[in-house]
């Protein structure tokens, strides 16, 4: 028999969300959670029965569906089955996990690496394992939610600094009492804006104030650096980041997260990180797919070059059409819309014409800075980018984001 609950804060929260979602659905402006039913080549998908150009993917090098990666995943299923025997510390470690961790360490030019089952969980567990109540954690204001959640979970004193502003970071570092442990964290490439952290200055400050430096490379592996190794390679500063965190769900077409760094650090995380000890290991197919993907990146350097050309075409083309693409320098291209409603309308117009872009609205971004968050990948052809930009231009004119 169902229980009639009295209204409380929890039920009010649920109802408020239900109302927000149903209003968007009624206005035909709800674009979240749409299932992709099929992949059609590297940059096209079937959604709601229509073939669309995918301009919202994190698969920056177009590796989803790569034959070598698919074969590696299938071979791992034949060899190991689909699951593991538990958590990594007990019976869950497979030979493919060890192989993947060696591959990542080589790729990141680090002594060692450790993997976890998602990027989100990696940030939670790593931050909260490294720092605690007596310590300080300092985070860029635009860092990803998983970093913020890790900082809160750690119980450390949580300070934030103005986005990519190294003077503001130094002010924070100066506020911390001598002798206290401090961890500075930033995204390498910011997930909503596409700009790049000022690593050289950040490293200088961390050394000056004896702080640990952790960089989240979710959107920089396969995107930055001549061979796709990420932010250290981009700035020619290999070995300068203490805690090189990354995901296996974006350029690497799998799921999971990792930290690469010094052997002692990695061993510490392996024995103290709660997500490693208390959560089941990565499934073998996903570990094998990730392992092969790092090798494909190095074997197919043309993908990096094509991504750079495509990102340049997309950013310049949208700017020339009058859009504000904010500070992006990478494959993540925000198209500023302003109000949430306008971002929804831009999405609707574009998707109705088979360009799959998505809105980013508050609270993911500040009120008034809603945007389309378009991405470009190495799988796009120049003419596909041109077509997509023409449709986004028509959308912009139709809803008044740019002059008609």
Residue 257 near ligand PLP by CB under 6 A: yes
Figure out which of the listed residues 55, 107, 116, 120 binds ligand PLP, where binding follows CB under 6 A: 120
| List 118, 191, 240, 249, catalytic entry | 191
Q: Which residue, 258 or 349, has its beta carbon nearer to ligand PLP? A: 258
Nearest-angstrom CA–CA distance, 87 and 268: 16
> Rounded to the nearest whole angstrom, what is the least distance from the CB of residue 216 to ligand PLP in the complex?
5
| List 108, 182, 219, 244, catalytic entry | 219
Residue 230 near ligand PLP by CB under 6 A: no
Q: Which residue, 125 or 345, has its beta carbon nearer to ligand PLP? A: 125
Stretch that binds ligand PLP, among 101-109, 118-126, 295-303, 348-356 (CB under 6 A): 118-126
Residue indicated by tokens 């034959």 = 67
Residue indicated by tokens 């750690």 = 154
Binding mask 172-191 for ligand PLP (x = CB under 6 A): ---------------x---x
What DSSP state is assigned to residue 280? Answer: B
> Rounded to the nearest whole angstrom, what is the least distance from the CB of residue 120 to ligand PLP in the complex?
4
Query: Smallest Cα–Cα separation from 244: which of 272, 220, 211, 268?
Result: 220
Stretch that binds ligand PLP, among 72-80, 213-221, 230-238, 368-376 (CB under 6 A): 213-221
Segment 75-114, which members bind ligand PLP (CB under 6 A)? none
N- to C-terminal Cα separation, the chain? 59
Residue 144 near ligand PLP by CB under 6 A: yes
Does the active-site annotation cover 250?
yes
Q: Which residue, 116 or 349, has its beta carbon nearer to ligand PLP? A: 116
> Rounded to the nearest whole angstrom, what is the least distance from the CB of residue 88 to ligand PLP in the complex?
17
Adjacency order of strands within the sheet including 370-375: 332-338, 370-375, 359-360
Adjacency order of strands within the sheet including 44-47: 36-40, 44-47, 50-54, 355-356
Figure out which of the listed residues 57, 84, 113, 118 binds ligand PLP, where binding follows CB under 6 A: 118
> Rounded to the nearest whole angstrom, what is the least distance from the CB of residue 118 to ligand PLP in the complex?
4
C-alpha distances (whole Å) from 360 to each of 11, 216, 305, 347, 402 are 26, 21, 28, 10, 18
What DSSP state is assigned to residue 168? Answer: H
Figure out which of the listed residues 218, 243, 331, 357 binds ligand PLP, where binding follows CB under 6 A: 218
Q: Which residue, 63 or 402, has its beta carbon nearer to ligand PLP? A: 63
Reading the block at residue 20, the tokens are 């927000």
Stretch that binds ligand PLP, among 71-79, 115-123, 315-323, 365-373 (CB under 6 A): 115-123
Residue 59 near ligand PLP by CB under 6 A: no
Give the DSSP H or E segment for 211: none
**What is the Cα Rg of the chain in Å?**
22
C-alpha distances (whole Å) from 49 to each of 11, 90, 221, 354, 355 are 36, 45, 32, 11, 14
- Describe the chain by its helix, strand, coil percentages, rounded to 5: 45, 20, 40
> Rounded to the nearest whole angstrom, what is the least distance from the CB of residue 227 to ligand PLP in the complex?
21
Query: Smallest Cα–Cα separation from 172: which of 187, 164, 160, 186?
Result: 160
> Rounded to the nearest whole angstrom, what is the least distance from the CB of residue 130 to ligand PLP in the complex?
16
Residue 244 near ligand PLP by CB under 6 A: no
Does the active-site annotation cover 219?
yes
- 98-105 long-range contacts, CB within 8 A, separation 24+: 99/291, 100/282, 100/287, 100/288, 100/290, 100/291, 101/258, 103/291, 103/294, 103/295, 104/246, 104/258, 104/260, 104/294, 105/260
| List 182, 234, 250, 306, catalytic entry | 250
Q: Which residue, 191 or 377, has its beta carbon nearer to ligand PLP? A: 191
By DSSP bridging, strand 157-161 and strand 182-187 are: unpaired
Reading the block at residue 243, the tokens are 């805690």
> Rounded to the nearest whole angstrom, what is the least distance from the CB of residue 147 to ligand PLP in the complex?
7
Residue 57 near ligand PLP by CB under 6 A: no
Binding site for ligand PLP (CB under 6 A): 118-120, 123, 144, 146, 187, 191, 216, 218-219, 247, 249, 257
For the annotated catalytic residues, the residue numbers are 191, 219, 250
């Amino acid at each position: 028999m169902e229980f009639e609950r009295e209204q409380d804060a929890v039920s009010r929260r649920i109802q408020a969300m239900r109302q927000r979602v149903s209003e968007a659905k009624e206005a035909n402006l709800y674009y979240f959670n749409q299932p992709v039913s099929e992949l059609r080549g590297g940059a096209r998908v079937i959604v709601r029965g229509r073939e669309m150009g995918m301009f919202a993917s994190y698969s920056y090098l177009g590796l989803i569906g790569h034959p070598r990666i698919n074969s590696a995943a299938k071979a791992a299923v034949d060899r190991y089955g689909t699951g593991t025997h538990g958590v990594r510390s007990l019976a869950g470690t497979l030979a493919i996990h060890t192989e993947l961790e060696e591959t990542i360490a080589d790729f990141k030019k680090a002594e060692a690496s450790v993997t976890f089952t998602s990027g989100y969980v990696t940030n939670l567990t790593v931050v909260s394992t490294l720092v605690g109540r007596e310590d300080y954690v300092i985070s860029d204001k635009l860092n990803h939610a998983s970093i913020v959640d890790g900082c809160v979970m750690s119980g450390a004193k949580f300070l934030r600094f103005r986005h990519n502003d190294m003077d503001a970071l130094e002010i924070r570092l100066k506020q911390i009492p001598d002798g206290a442990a401090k961890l500075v964290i930033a995204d390498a490439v910011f997930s909503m804006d596409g700009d790049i952290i000022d690593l050289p200055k950040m490293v200088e400050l961390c050394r000056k104030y004896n702080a640990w430096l952790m960089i989240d490379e979710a959107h920089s592996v396969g995107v930055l650096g001549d061979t796709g190794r990420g932010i250290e390679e981009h700035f020619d500063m290999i070995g300068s980041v203490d805690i090189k965190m990354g995901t296996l769900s974006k350029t690497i077409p799998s799921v999971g997260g990792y930290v690469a760094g010094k052997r002692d650090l990695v061993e510490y995380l392996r024995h103290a990180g709660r997500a490693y000890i208390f959560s089941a290991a990565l499934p073998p197919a996903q570990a094998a797919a990730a392992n092969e993907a790092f090798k494909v990146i190095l074997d197919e350097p043309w993908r990096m070059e094509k991504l750079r050309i495509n990102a340049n075409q997309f950013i310049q083309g949208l700017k020339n059409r009058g859009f504000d693409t904010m500070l992006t320098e990478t494959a993540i291209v925000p198209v500023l819309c302003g109000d949430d409603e306008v971002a929804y309308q831009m999405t609707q117009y574009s998707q109705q014409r088979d360009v799959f872009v998505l809105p980013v609205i508050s609270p993911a971004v500040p009120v008034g800075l809603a945007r389309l968050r378009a991405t470009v990948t190495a799988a796009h052809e120049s003419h596909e980018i041109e077509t997509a930009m023409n449709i986004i231009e028509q959308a912009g004119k139709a809803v008044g984001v740019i002059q008609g």
